[in-house]
Structure 1
Amino acid sequence: MSRTPLKKQNINEKNIMDIAYECARFIVFREGSKTCIRRDDIIKHLETTCHMVRSHFKEVLGPAEEILKQVYGYKLVDTGKNSYIVVLNTPCEHHEGIYDPELRIILIAALTHIYMSGGTVTEENMWRFLKEADLVGELEVDKKNILRKTFTEQLYLEYKRLEGEDAECIFKWGLRAENEVPKMTLLKLMSKEFDKEITFWPDQCRIAEEEEQKQKLQ
């Protein structure tokens, strides 16, 4: 026998929590792709499995976010485009979200280069850096496409063409990286590599410290 639609039930805490647990389970299942989860996809799933009425989604989402945080260690981030991404609730110093060690090294190297370069690098500059670091060869198109496409779709990186007829393409940090990769960790790696205090890079140090303070307030 199917459930009674939520709009015909007494809306109580148990109704909301039952649907919130299903919402959290669905989000965790979809998290494996590392791509955006459309708000409508979540709602349609809950309408189908729990007979939730669309207007009650906001009531369900709050408890679902708390379940994600307390049970799974995840945080739901609104992309501002009617979709969400799932990130680690606590920034990960070793970033285990990328399972291939080689790709993880390439990603961290790319993020570090962008961060130390002021937040944006041109595509040409990125390939030159990764080639000099002996991480991506000039003819390794597959690896380049991982940065252009895979890491972009997963929101670790943002890759776009600037305006203008002869404009270059640039790389920036993506929303997932902003939420999962602590800048202070990258700065300390640079400090160790070059045997310098982190204050040697004042702008990057300020940004990293501000990020740490923001994390403490959350």
Structure 2
Amino acid sequence: MQPKNDDDDDHDFLDSKVKDTIFYLLVNNQKQTIIKRADLTKYIIKDKSRYFDQIIKRVADELNQVFGYDITYIESQKGYLLFNKLPTDRTLLKISQEKETKLSLIFLIASHIYNSGGSVTEKSLWKFLKLFGIQQDIEHTLFGDVKRLIYQLYVKECYFEIVDQDQETELYFKFGPRCLLEMNNDNFIRFNNELIQL
């Protein structure tokens, strides 16, 4: 039996860390928040950070080929987002009713932002949502506390960003990185056509 050399040790290390990183990403992606690069280094790669780029490249390839996910680094957040690149009609996983409800509100807001050129004022957003019976300070029967969902959860999950553009009291909502990755023009055009037919 031949003794292992350093190349074998590096190969075994990389294989192990690729598997660990994929597991970490998939588990943490359930929270739908940014997965910080610093956390990957701290909890998975540890003192071998010189291998980080190699590991992430292999992780990206496996996530894509095996799970149908793309991984994207968001510079402003110093972290990664995973998103399913498979069309929703081809995914094997069923979306829960709760998640489907959540996505419908996200899509409604995103469509308004899209139709408004990429950003909307806070006032415009609530005026639009009121057309669908959704009011800022009234608990909605389907969505619950909509204000908390929009201002906290959807911002934390990177669907939307809240910007104070003019340094006054008016806030603006614009697409967050997850929204830009998961939704496209065809989705918005199809949704607009469905709304017109209502």
Could you say which residue in structure 2 is the equivalent of 1:108?
107
For 1:35 and 1:106, the matched residues in 2 are separated by: 18
> Among residues 140, 146, 150, which one is paired with 2:149 in the alignment?
146
CA distance in 2, matches of 1:159, 1:114: 12
TM-score normalized by the length of structure 2: 0.81
Q: Does the aligned pair in 2 maintain the 1:17–1:63 contact within 8 Å?
A: no
C-alpha displacement at 1:69, in angstroms? Answer: 1.2
Gaps of 5+ in 2: 140-144
Listed as ranges, the matches of 1:54-203 within 5 Å are 54-80=49-75, 81-90=77-86, 92=88, 96=95, 99-134=98-133, 136-140=134-138, 142-164=145-167, 166-194=168-196
Q: Provide runs of 4+ in structure 1 moved above 6 Å.
A: none
Contact residue 31 and residue 86 of structure 1 kept, 8 A: yes
Select between 27-36 and 178-187 the one with higher mean Cα deviation.
178-187
Task: Report the RMSD for the aligned CA atoms in angstroms.
Answer: 2.6
Among the aligned pairs, what percent are the same residue? 20
C-alpha contact 1:98 1:104 (8 A) present in aligned 2: no
Total equivalences in the alignment = 183
Instruction: Give the Å deviation of 1:127.
Output: 0.6
Q: 5+ unaligned residues in a row in structure 1: which ranges?
A: 1-7, 196-218
TM-score for the superposition, normalised by structure 1? 0.74
CA distance in 2, matches of 1:175, 1:57: 23
